[in-house]
Structure formats: structure tokens, C-alpha cells
Amino acid sequence: MLIVVSIRVSGQKLSYQVDVSDLDSYFKVTVNVDGKLSDKNKIYQFASTVPGTYQVMDIGRYVNDFRALDVKGNEIQVIKISTNQYELTKPKKVKTILYEVAETWDTPVEYHTIYKMCGTSLEKDHALINPHCLIGFLSGMQASPINLSIMYPRDWIVATALNKNDKGWFVAESFDHLIDSPFLLGRLSHVSRQMNQTKIEIFTYSKTDLINSESLMSSMVKMLEAAHEFLVDFPVDRYTFLYHFEDEIWGAWEHSFSSAYVFVEQPLTEEYVNTITTAATHEFFHIITPLNIHSDIVEQFNFESPIPSEHLWLYEGVTEWAAHMIQLRGGIYGLEQYLMQQQQKLINNEMFNQNYSLSELALKSYTEEGQVQYPNIYSKGAIIASLLDIRLLELSNGQRGLREVIIDLTREYGQHKAFFEDEFFNVFIDMTYPEIESFINNYIKGTRSLPIREYYEKLGVGYVEQSKTSEAVAELGYSVALKGGELVIVNLNNKTKSTGLNDWDKLVAINENKVNLENANEIIGAIIQLPFESEYNITVEKSDGQVITKKLILSGDTKAVRHEFEILSNPSEQQLKFRNVWMKNLPY
């Protein structure tokens, strides 16, 4: 398979050729220069990270044998000046740039493992290509238009959100646009559906063809209809879902006009469909933010040294809130299930440092410390967004909630107009109410205890932070969570910590049985069924790569019920009225 990318700027033309014919080796990249480069173009930049991942990627780690040649094929000196940058010492003479890039899925690295949905994979019957993993750009040319052509086996299907020009080339407005457009190629199933003015497409790779695009579309139609009601209209004319079902579950990655998913291939049970649908709802809502509501930092992304935006609470927290409200208001599930999800988010929130505000979490998202706290944006961030919605409805006497404010912001800004990073909180306050300033200071910028009981009581919903039953249950002394596609132990009690185990240790095995996503429930369930005071071994991998095994004792204790919600059987007339307003999309 050959990929050709053409860039034109100021009389210069660059064509990228990516040879992936060696399926088990490297992507071989050739950059041909038609015209003369200048000193302004002497740095070839690979991405240190990309928008939407909030992780260090350092694509330069995967690059080998980077060379530059003149018109006669003579080598020109190239200096590697950083992990992700190469300097052309005589850019005006450069006619060809050559390098190889290892695929990210099967290339081990010591740290900063790239999420699989954000990387590259090449197999005999399919390929996943995120362009930022292969293509760099020359300094001064980040904003230049790009044409891209892909040569691939005749029986392969190619899927992407990029449009083609009349010559059959995929067209990207810039490097930023190109890397915002992943490709899935190979033995794919495909289905499309027109929803009002938007064409929705689903492309699916399924290792054994167990799952197909038609089945996914059938399970997602109600969600898409609910999303349309929530958003009033879709601000894009085309949206593409790319699904990869094989042996591992890693999650999803949003883009402006598409989203990519890496999930385990297994039967589409009702529970699994719910998981896929909720993930798709979240990623789909990103057509609102950050596509149509974003700061100048996001719009002018720095691929060398990324600058974090404080407004991660908006991009991810509000998006996660919307993913659940869309399904609640669309009748996909009821209030009881919604409250169970909120309960789980509050439980998940306890696994993280409660002295971390959402603002601090955002501003440290590219640091090692911040990466540990980052997953909480989907729990604490969504919870705070739900409280903000209730507060806005209260202040407006049920006339305008968070949904309505988001729609107004979309119409005020849009895809090509960014807000100023340092001014957005004031903009948000000006568009709503003066009282929202204290809400922002207390719960987004600050770490004040969340007023769960006070706010949900307005809806006729009771809340108890903790209660106990008389039933004795097994107590592991830790919880198991998913981080970056790997199982980790979290929420350790003091007794477990005393053995030398720590939060975020990677779970490797229990009683010498290797634990993975497919068998974790079975293996842990067997331990819980043991008599109290039974001993068992747990093997973990520490952050430095050291693998240790510790002996733990299964204890029994009365069951603690955390963050319990209850729909009041006899709500007041005012509570019921407010709940009914909260559970529907207001006229717009």
C-alpha cells in the first residue's frame, strides 16, 4: 500500500510517499520537494502530542534513518535537535527526505505508550492509520493545504472523513486538518444513513466478521435521533464512525468529523451495545466542543510544546455530561439508570486526589502527575457539569439550562471563531448569571465539596453519601479500574498499602492466573467467593516496570453503600415540576 501526500505553498510542492508493503516492519516515507525550501522551512517536525489525547506521544521515538538528499541523490547533513525535530542544514538544496516509522501497536516503548485508537496498525487484512504517526511538517508549513492519495490492495475499502477532489485525492485544509482525520482500511463492512442534512457513515473491521456496520447502525439510530433533538441540528454535513473489533479494548478517540474506536470483538449483547452507544454519544458530541466551541490555544495547536487549555471541563466534562443527558432525554434509558451512572462517577471520583480542581487537572494534563489525575475529568467533570445544569435551570426559573447555553455558544463562535483562553469564564458568566461566578470559583477552579444532596433534592431525588447494611460481604481492599486499556488497582485501603502495593499498579495476575479484560470478572469473582480470611497472591507491575507478587487476605465486612440516590416517592409539586423541566429539551 502506498500513500502519497502533496502540499503546495508559496510555489513549493511536497509529495509524501508512504510505503507499507512490508506488513511487519516500518512505514517507509519519502518526501519529494518540487521547488526550493528556505531557512524558514528547515525544521521537520513530528508531533509531540495531538489535540484530544492529553498524553505525551513523541512520535519521533518511532522514526529511524531520517535522511535528506539533493537533486543528484547526495546526502545533506541532517541534525536531530530533539526527540521530534530534525534540522535540514541546507534546506535550499533539499529535494528528497527519507525516513522510516515503526507502527505503534507492535513497537514496545519504555513510557508514554500511545493509546491504540490513536496509533498505527498494519495487518494482512486491514490497517489503522492516524496520520500524525507517519507524517510530519516543515516549519512554516503547518497551515498549508494538503492533498493525499492512498494506494492499497484492490479488495480493500478505505474509510475516512476527508473528502476527495475531482482527481480522486483526499483534501485537507492543513496539517491540523489531516491529523484530525484517521483512516481505517481493509476488509470492512459499511453502511450510511442520511439524518436530516448530515450523512452518517459507519465502517467496521471485525476480526472474524462477528460484528458488522449494519448491526451497529441499527443499535445507534435512536441515539443519533436523540442527539439531533438535543443539539437542534448537527453542525456538520458528514460524520464517520470507524470501528475496530479485535482482541483488545482501548476506547475511543474523537475528531471533528469522525471518531475511531478500538474494542474487543464479542457478541453484541444489550450490555455491550450500551457500552458502545455511550462511547459513541460522547465522541459524537465533540462536533459541538471543541469543534464549534474552543479556545485560541486549541485552534493554533503547538505540536512541538503543547500548551494546555484550562477549559478541559468544557471539552470533556460537559461532553460526558451531554452523552448521558442525550440518552436520558431521548428515552434510551430512564432516570433510575441515569442516577446509577452518577453514583458510579462519584465512586470513581474517590479514586483521585480531591485537592485537584478541574482547572489544575487541565493545566497539568501533559505532565506525569496530571496524567494520573486525568481520567477523573470523565467522572468529576461530568458530575460538576450536571450540577451546573441544575443551577442554571434554577436561576432561569426553568427556562435555560446548560444545553441551551451550549447551543448559544455554538452560534456565537462556531468552527472558525475561537474564544480567548483567559476570557472564557467571564464570557460564560456574562451569558448566564452573576451567581455562576461563585460556582466556577468553588467547583471548577476550586475544590469545595460538591453540593450533591442540595442540588438533586431540587429534582425530588434523595442522596446519601454513605450507608451500611448488616450483610457481610467480601472485602478485597482495593478496586480494579481501566487506565489506557490496562487493568490497574486503585482505591487501596491502608492494610493493602502496607504490603507495598500502590494505587495505579498494573494488575498482572491473581494466583498465577494472568488477568486481562476478558477474564478479570471471572478471576476476581472466584476470589470473592472464597471463605473470609483466605489467602491469595496478587501480581502487579510497578510504574518502574518491576513485577512483584504479594500475599493478601480476603476479609469480610458490612457492606458500605456509597453515593446512593433515591427517587422520592412523594416529591413536592415544585420538585416534580422542576424534575420534568430538567428531563426534557427546552424549546429552542
- The string of pLDDT tens digits covering residues 86-134 is 999 999 999 999 999 999 998 988 888 898 999 999 898 999 999 999 9
Count of residues in the chain = 588
CATH code 3.30.2010.30 for 188-273 = yes
Kindly report, residue by residue over 465-514, the tens digit of the pLDDT.
Answer: 987 665 667 788 888 887 766 789 988 889 999 999 998 999 999 998 88
| CA atoms within a 13 Å half-sphere pointing along the CA-CB vector of 74 | 4
Give percent helix, percent strand, percent coil of the chain, each to the nearest 5. 30, 30, 40
CB burial class (10 A; 0-12, 13-18, 19+) of residue 494?
A: exposed
Minimal CA–CA distance to 503: which of 342, 344, 360, 348? 348
Per-residue pLDDT reduced to its tens digit, 551-561: 999 887 666 67
The string of pLDDT tens digits covering residues 411-450 is 999 988 999 999 999 999 999 999 999 999 999 999 999 9
The ranges of the chain annotated as CATH 2.60.40.3650 are 1-186
535-541 vs 547-553, strand pairing mode: antiparallel
Would the pLDDT of 12 be above 90? no
What is the Cα gyration radius of the chain? 25
pLDDT at 18 over 80: no
Residues of each domain in the chain carrying CATH 3.30.2010.30: 188-273
Give me the mean pLDDT over the 122-147 stretch: 90
pLDDT of residue 251: 83
What does the alpha-carbon distance between residue 202 and residue 220 come to, in Å, rounded to a whole number?
Answer: 10
- Quick one: which of 242, 219, 229, 243 has its CA closest to 195? 229
Chain-centre distance of CA 549, in angstroms?
32
Which of the residue ranges 299-303, 336-340, 470-474 would you say has the lowest mean pLDDT?
470-474
Among 335, 317, 410, residue whose Cα is nearest residue 584: 335
Instruction: Indicate whether 370 pLDDT > 70.
Output: yes
Residue 9: pLDDT band with limits 50, 70, 90: very low
Pairwise CA distance, residues 457 & 579, whole Å: 10
In the prediction, which pLDDT does 484 show? 62
Using the CB atoms, write b or e for 313-326: b if 16+ within 10 Å. bbbbbbbbbbbbbb
pTM of the predicted model as reported, rounded to 2 decimal places: 0.86
How far is it, in rounded angstroms, from Cα 54 to Cα 57? 9
Pick the CATH number of 1-186 from 3.30.420.340, 1.10.3720.10, 3.30.479.30, 2.60.40.3650: 2.60.40.3650
pLDDT at position 430, please?
98
Residues of the chain with CATH 2.30.42.10: 477-553
Q: Does domain 477-553 have CATH number 2.30.42.10?
A: yes
Non-local CB neighbours of 173 within 8 Å, separated by 6+ positions: 145, 146
Distance CA 408, CA 411 (A): 5
Partners of 7 in the β-ladder: 14, 146
Q: Which fold has domain 296-454?
A: Neutral Protease; domain 2 (1.10.390)
Q: In terms of Cα–Cα distance, which of 1, 63, 85, 68 is closest to 33?
A: 68
Rounded to whole angstroms, the Cα distance separating 488 from 482 reads 6
Residue type present at position 474: A
